[in-house]
Structure 1
């Protein structure tokens, strides 16, 4: 049963007010479903929007931030907990460890890198937790197309393709997360 979600998303707000509204609603849904937020600990952008929505609706928000980013003044002050770690590698590992599942909301290169790591670690057996893309307004549709192409060209087996969820519906996301069965790690044959 999922009790916490690690959320990867933009430290920038972007330029689409609908994405910001959807992020607020996502945070509200987390709190309403008594799911703790695990995220990068920032106060800016989509990530700050989600964390504030969780807190404003009585939920728990747990941040994991690097010393460098904290020292730049990027941390959100009123989090349930905040853990300061030495670098991004430790931050990513800790965020993955603390959440029962990982989900990406709209973001940039950093968001893509974090969720891609979670997905790729599934193939080698180092991530047994569900990985999903919250596909607001089709934001991740081009990436889904790329994954389908990887499968078509023989670089991503169907069981790993099927282990990823693309949805813009919170209830579908939770159903996927709560029913997730991790695929076996990739086996190589000489």
Structure 2
């Protein structure tokens, strides 16, 4: 693998879910990141999928940058062994910093917050504010319904093909990194003034 992708922002659940395979896969994903010398940028939490992927990166000699809101840090949710932990005032700043720091974004299985974060990255692609790849790690088909919904948006005329093609659903770590390494951002949406 080349060195183009040096940091990945990972969005994932603060919960572990009810299937232990998901946590195991988060740990495997973190181990792969460390093995390939890719630094983790994430929300700074100690629990659930977030804690699993961050601890796996650290346990395998990797580097982890956590960005957490003051509110969440005050609740004791931060993973304190991180290489770098930034505490920011609110979620908007947290999301912006994560996108700024990373060379690409990926959503592992998670809940509403995970979906909101990756959706913002995708939507910003259409207006030209995000030139980095936004991807899904589609373990056990977790994101298949969303993939179908995005295609439906295209088929019904609410999304252009170039933006649909800019979103990648990966089943393997190597495929995800390959997509990121070769990614070219689509031209942002233009509007007629007629």
Provide TM-score, normalisation by structure 1.
Answer: 0.99
Q: Does the residue aligned with 2:27 lie in a helix, a strand or coil? A: helix
Map of 1:66-105 to 2, 5 A cutoff?
66-105=69-108
Deviations 1:26-78 (A, max 9, x none): 00000000000000000000000000000000000100000010000000011
* 1:131 is aligned to 2:134: yes
* 1:63 is aligned to 2:66: yes
Match of 2:168 among 156, 165, 169: 165
2-structure distance, mates of 1:22, 1:84: 27
What CA RMSD, in Å, does the superposition of the two structures yield over aligned residues? 0.5
1-structure distance, mates of 2:74, 2:190: 43
| Distance apart, 1:116 and its partner CA | 0.2
Matched length? 190
Deviations 1:124-180 (A, max 9, x none): 000000000000000000000000000000111000000000011001001000000
1-structure distance, mates of 2:88, 2:75: 14
Match of 2:34 among 28, 31, 34: 31
2-structure distance, mates of 1:79, 1:17: 24
> Following TM superposition, where does structure 1 have runs of at least 4 consecutive aligned residues deviating by more than 2 angstroms?
none
Q: Does the residue aligned with 1:38 lie in a helix, a strand or coil? A: strand
* 1:181 is aligned to 2:184: yes
In the alignment, structure 2 segments of 5+ residues that lack a partner are: none
Match of 2:147 in 1: 144
1-structure distance, mates of 2:40, 2:84: 10
Provide TM-score, normalisation by structure 2.
Answer: 0.97
Deviations 1:6-43 (A, max 9, x none): 00000001001111111000000000000000000000
Q: Does the residue aligned with 2:109 lie in a helix, a strand or coil? A: coil
